[in-house]
Every structure is written in C-alpha cells, then in structure tokens.
A = this chain, B = another copy of it.
Amino acid sequence: MSLMTAEQYEKSLRELKLVVYMFGKRVDNVVDDPIIRPSMKAVAMTYALAHRPEHEDLMTATSHISGKKINRFTHIHQSVQDLVKKSKMGRLLGRETGCCFQRCVGMDALNALSIVTHAIDSKQGTDYYKRFLSYLEYVQEKDLTCDGAMTDPKGDRRLPPHQQPDPDHFLHVVEERPDGIVVRGAKAHQTGAVNSHEVIVMPTLAMRKEDEDYAVSFALPSDAEGITYIMGRQSCDTRKLEDGQIDQGNVLFGGHEALVVFDDVFVPRERVFMYKDYAFAAQLVEIFAAYHRQSYACKVGVGDVLIGAAQTVAEYNGVEKASHIRDKIVEMNHLNETLYCGCIACASEGHKEPGGTYAVNTLLANVHKQNVTRFPYELSRLAQDIAGGLMVTMPGEQDFQSPQTRKWLQKYYQTNPNIPTESRMRILRLIENLTLGTAAVGYLTESMHGAGSPQAQRVMIARRANMVEKKKAAQKLCGIVEI
C-alpha cells in the first residue's frame, strides 16, 4: 500500500488516539468534529488527487529507495524537475482546496532531514542518515502524513534557549535513557497537527554549545503518550457549527493550527535524527525554511480561487466589462503570476546536495516567500474592491431561508435575472472566507508568518545576495581602482 486513497486516509486517522482540546473540552471524535473535519478533507485531497490520471505526474513520484510509486508528499527530491513539480503540486492543491492543505510541512521536514542527517554523518561519523532512511521507507510505504514541527514558543525573545526563565520555552531533552530520550516543550502554530500520523520535530533556530540539549530532532507517532493538542481558533470558525453551509464560504475545505505540547515524551533511539549536534541546528533550520518557503507555491493556487471568485462576482454584479474592473483582474493575475514565478524559479535554480537530495535556491526561495507576505494582502484588497460592500453587509443564510425575509432578500439582491441570488450570495461568502474568514488565516496571516516572518526572509536575502560581486561590477564601470 504505497498510495492510500482519501477514504483509507480518513479511516487511518480514526485509529489514532490523539489527545485534542478545543473550546475548553476534549474532542472525542476528531475526524468528525465539524470544526476540524474540513481541514481533514483538505489533507485527504493530497491522497485523492494522486489517484487521478491527469494529476499523476505532479502528485506521485518514484521512490529513490524502494523504486515504488509514492505520493510526492513523501518523496525526496531527486532532480530539478522534482522541485518544479513540487511547486506545481502546491498550486494545484491550493486551487482545488482554496485553503491550506497542510501536508507540505512534513515533506519539507523529510527533505531537510535527508540533507542534514547526511551532512552530520559525513562530518561526525554518526548513523543518523541510516535511521532517517529507515524511517522514510516506513513513511513512504504507509503513505503517511507528517507534521513538521519547528516553531517553539520562544518565551523571552531576547534570550537563547538555555537562558530562558522557563527552560521549556524551547523543546529540549530532559532525560537520556539507554533506548532513547525524553523530551519536554511545545511547538506552536502546528498546521494540520491533528490530521497527521506522525510529527517530526526540529529545532527552531541556530544554537551554541550551551544549547546542546535543545539541538534535537526526531519523529514520533502523533498519538505518542504525552503529546497534547490544543486547537487554535480561527476567524468565523463557529460558522461550521451553524445550520446551513453557505455562510462558511468554502463549503468543502479548511485548515487548522494547534499548539502541540510534549509533556515528557519518550522518543526511541531509532527515531532520533539529531541530538546535541548544535552546530547543525542552523543548517537544518535554514534548509527546512528554504523548502518551506518554496511551499508557499500553494498560495498561488488559493490566489487562483480568489481571482476566479472576483471574476465571478463581477459577472454576477454585471460590471465585468467596466475597464477598471478588468484592470483590477489583470492586476490580480499579474501579482499572482509574479508569485508563481518565484516558486518556479527557486525550484528551477535548485541544485544537488552531497547526499543526492535536490535543494531549492535559498535566495530565491526567500525572495518568493517575501512576496507571499505582501501580494495576497493586495489581492484580497482588490477582491474586496471588486466584490462590493455586500460581502460584509449581507444577511445570513437563515435569513435567506426564513419565510419572513426570504422574499425581500431574493428581490433586492437580484442583479442579472439569469443569476440565482443564492449564487451571488455564495460567491460573496467565499470571498469573505478568503479575505476575512477561516481561509484568511491561511491566505493572509499564515502567508505573513508561516515558514518564517518577513524579517527572517530579509535576513536571509541580506546574507545570500552576493554583494562583493555587485560592488565590483559597479566600481569597475565608474573607474574606481580596487581599494
């Protein structure tokens, strides 16, 4: 079973015994919880599309360890083409789900570990890479969804891990046992956490000798003893609990984030991929970050949905031929395709790392992500411009159903007689969902902070731009003799 179906995936989740809290209560049935379920359905699309012939090329790959056909989300990139396909897969799924489909973070963690465990071993003669490959084979064979867990709560942000008043503000090893380690701490903002079979933990920043207990990476089943999930709430989340579905906007899919608490959790030795190797923490962070910044290719797909929604509402409103509307649609496409260029270019300019894994171009991946922190906001603004104010003043679905008000709403929200008022209502709710509602969490704020806040990318851009070469070029042209 190298390729699960969406149904098999859902079934496999039911077998997990996750400890999940939401709205102050333990969630007994995670899979069917109405708030969580749309996010599970989004992950399930990563399984479903892999079975569709028209998407096979993007959604699947051939394992470099088993030679079997596997889901690309469990694949280690073996070529520049693989990297490019990853970007296209992201756009495809973003367009199909209109939200965060959550599974990329595990793929990025696997690929980053593929490079870094190999690097540690090369330098230090350890056997992390072997452990990793064994784990990878398991993930590929079972077609698992992994959560890649990096972001610690960080406590006082001016202090390194070992100086924190509360030592647990960065996840760390609290006990070494012959057969493994015991860890404590938490990982925040974990996308898709409770839809994952596995959680792969990595350190969140560069470390020094004193932080060596914090320089730890490992993988665990998501329902390992001692792990607790506390669901984050989203704008408009409880609309999913209401009667009807229209007001949800995206009536099919969603995303989620959770705080994941590790309360003295045991990790068996063979699942440890880094420990005390503080000198490699920075590399792991940087490589994971570059892969994950590329992954924001998905927002191009969500942008496709928003553009499609904007064009639809313009047509429903009967204004699609106004020159300013057409120009705004062009601008939306222009910005969205500029984003696309970023995720294609950082892949196309990728290279082979010593162990054989292909890495993206770090500079361009950061440039891409930096644009992702900007353009979706402008796309949202333009979509709201095109949509009109009704998007935020329209009565709810229940008013459209109520015998007392239905007649007024049907009458007064009619535009083109060929367009059902309900269709207009639905598309407006979708734009609300993407720009203010549950999907705005992913399309806007996560675009800002996911895979590192904007300033993190700026630091990397400063580091990776070849300023020596640029200065020489300038000085030569104006006749400055080198000084």
Contacts and interface: CB of A to CB of B under 8 A. Distances in A.
A40 B125 CA distance: 58
Interface residues of A, number: 157
Contacts of A418: 483
Contact of A473 (B24, B230, B249, B305): B305
A445 interface: yes
A436 B430 contact: no
A448 B344 contact: no
A66 to B, nearest CB: 29
Nearest to A470: B308
B483 A367 contact: no
A52 interface: no
A374 B378 CA distance: 9
Give the 7 A-B residue pairs with the shortest CB-CB distance, closest first.
Answer: A308-B470, A24-B398, A389-B449, A308-B474, A323-B323, A24-B402, A232-B393
A384 B155 CA distance: 19
B426 A479 contact: yes
A483 B23 contact: no
A312 interface: yes
Contacts of A189: 389-390, 393
Interface string A323-363: 11011011001100110111011111100000000000001
A408 B317 contact: no
A238 to B, nearest CB: 6
A471 B236 contact: no
A399 interface: yes
Interface stretch (A131-139, A202-210, A276-284, A409-417): A409-417
Contact of A389 (B156, B305, B395, B448): B448
A26 B404 CA distance: 9
A163 interface: no
Contact of A409 (B230, B334, B480): B230
A438 to B, nearest CB: 10
Contacts of A311: 467, 470-471, 474
A481 to B, nearest CB: 8
A388 to B, nearest CB: 6
Contacts of A461: 330, 333-334, 337
A334 B367 contact: yes
The prevalent SS among residues of A at the interface is helix
A304 B473 contact: yes
Interface stretch (A54-62, A102-110, A250-258): A250-258
A261 interface: yes
A300 to B, nearest CB: 11
A46 interface: no
Contact of A395 (B84, B231, B398): B231
A226 interface: no
Contacts of A257: 392-393
A206 to B, nearest CB: 17
A479 B245 contact: yes
Given A230-B405, A363-B337, A420-B483, A478 B307 contact: no
Interface string A110-154: 000000000000000000000000000000000000000000011
B337 A344 contact: no
Contacts of A475: 308, 312, 423, 427
A257 to B, nearest CB: 4
Contacts of A393: 188-189, 232, 257-259, 441
Contacts of A324: 323, 327, 455, 458
Given A338-B371, A364-B341, A318 B157 contact: yes
Nearest to A190: B393
A90 interface: no
